[in-house]
Amino acid sequence: MIRYLTAGESHGPQLTGITEGVPAGLPITEDEIALHLARRQKGYGRGGRMAFEKDRATFLSGVRFGETTGAPIAMSIPNRAHEKDDSNWPKVLNKEGDGEDVEAITVPRPGHADLTGVQKYRYDDIRPAIERSSARETAMRVACCSIARQFLKHFGIEIGGHVTRVGSVGYEDSWEDVRKRVGPMLKDGAESVFEEADKSPVRCLDEELTQEMRDLIIKRRKEGSSLGGHWEVIVTGLPAGLGSFVHWDRKLDGKIAQAIMGTQAMKGVEIGQGFESGRRHGQVVHDEIIYEDDDFKRRTNRMGGIEGGISTGMPLIVRGVMKPIPTMLTPIDTVDFKSKEKKDTRYERSDVCALPRAIVVVESVIATVLANAFLEKFGGDSIEEIEERYSN
């Protein structure tokens, strides 16, 4: 089983991650991880910070001669902001000293972990909550999960995501329109989806919608507001039989849902037609089974590749929603947690819409869930051993 821990504050010296449980003999390079880290940093609607960060994860262990050894893989990503900013991060986040000359932040921003962080950990300064709950952490999460992603790709399993809605702008019929757009692309594997989406500054596959989304982002930026939206991730090449119905915590969709909702700013997740399936009746929801090319297939894929908590062998379709970024130029009401006085939210430099970049994060976290389900079925300590079984 692959497991990973990430560590690091948004403006601390570095992010650190350890991924443990990867089979030995998987070809892997820092460049492949850098690709997804770079994708995570691109996208329209970004704030200033991204301009000078250019993330690269460095392997510190577990990789030799371009292959995993089975040992834990440690990685670090330096936070260039820590040093380059004029600001005094080394002082503000000093691991030593008493912090007496650092001003405490006491005005929580709604929608962040600011107030809840204080309530949980009894902070007298919101700073630690800001630092650790920041989306900056997802850079290391992408790095850790990119190893699992590489593992899946080795066995022909590809992952690709795209944006289906930014605020009021999105596909008219979110399910059917998107199926028409994406369906033909999947015969080349789901990576073709992200490759195509990456050409759009908002990672939307539709050119017209891309333009409208950009316009909306510009408009909301001017107003001092922010935006979220809807996304979709597709996985191709997944074999049938991963996950199980025999106990609730073995269901593949349950594990995917936790991984997604465990990602910053995600407020909902659905598989296949998801919420839309509640509006329809059974005859137009379930997927007829056919036998074709020596395999069982579904005439449609409204179930999104999972039935009874188990992968069907059809493309996996996971969709979700990211809420608008809580940091906004135009303030809303809040309260100083010490004085209890009413305050305006203070502004920290931020993006207007983080969704295009968050696509890479959700693609990534799904990868580790799937790699574990795959390992559970095929077992094995080395790529060679797994290949023997998988080709059988």
**Residue 338 touching a second copy (CB under 8 A):** no
- How far apart are the C-alpha atoms of 334 and 341, rounded to whole Å? 8
Near a second copy by CB under 8 A, which window of 39-47, 178-186, 199-207, 261-269? 261-269
Q: Is 346 annotated as a binding residue?
A: no
Bridge partner residues of 214 (DSSP): none
Position 3 contacts a second copy (CB under 8 A) = yes
Alpha-carbon Rg for the chain in angstroms: 22
The answer to the question of residue 211 lying near a second copy (CB under 8 A) is no
Q: How far is the CB of 51 from a second copy (least distance, A)?
A: 22
Phi then psi for 353, rounded to 5 degrees? Answer: -145, 115
Q: Any contact of residue 270 with a second copy (CB under 8 A)?
A: yes
- If one asks whether residue 120 binds a second copy (CB under 8 A), the answer comes out as yes
239 CB-near residues (< 8 Å, 6+ apart)? 311, 313, 374, 377
Q: Which of 253, 359, 362, 370 binds a second copy (CB under 8 A)?
A: 253
Residue 122 or 349: the one with the smaller Cβ distance to a second copy is 122
Distance CA 76, CA 16 (A): 5
Print the binding letters for residues 138-177 with a second copy: x by CB under 8 A, - otherwise: ---x-----------------------x-xx-x-------
Q: Is 248 in the site for a second copy (CB under 8 A)?
A: yes
Q: Which is nearer to a second copy, 160 or 304 (CB)?
A: 304
Query: Judged by CB under 8 A, which of 47, 72, 90, 201 binds a second copy?
Result: 72
Under the criterion CB under 8 A, does residue 246 sit at the interface with a second copy?
yes
Rounded Cα–Cα distance for residues 331 and 329 (Å): 6
Q: What's 302's DSSP letter? A: T
Helix (H) or strand (E) holding 384: helix 383-391
- Alpha-carbon distance of 142 to 23, in angstroms, equals 19
Which token pair is 241? 């039989």
Is 128 annotated for ligand binding?
no
- Of 186 and 322, nearer to a second copy (C-beta) is 322
Distance CA 314, CA 53 (A): 38
- Sequence-distant contacts of 290-299: CB under 8 A, at least 24 apart: 296/240
- Does 189 bind a second copy (CB under 8 A)? Our answer is no
Of the candidates 44, 171, 175, 378, which one interacts with a second copy according to CB under 8 A? Answer: 378
Q: Taking CB under 8 A as the rule, does residue 83 contact a second copy? A: no
Say if residue 327 carries a ligand binding annotation.
yes
DSSP state of 88: -
For the annotated binding site, the residues are 40, 46, 132-134, 264-265, 308, 323-327, 349
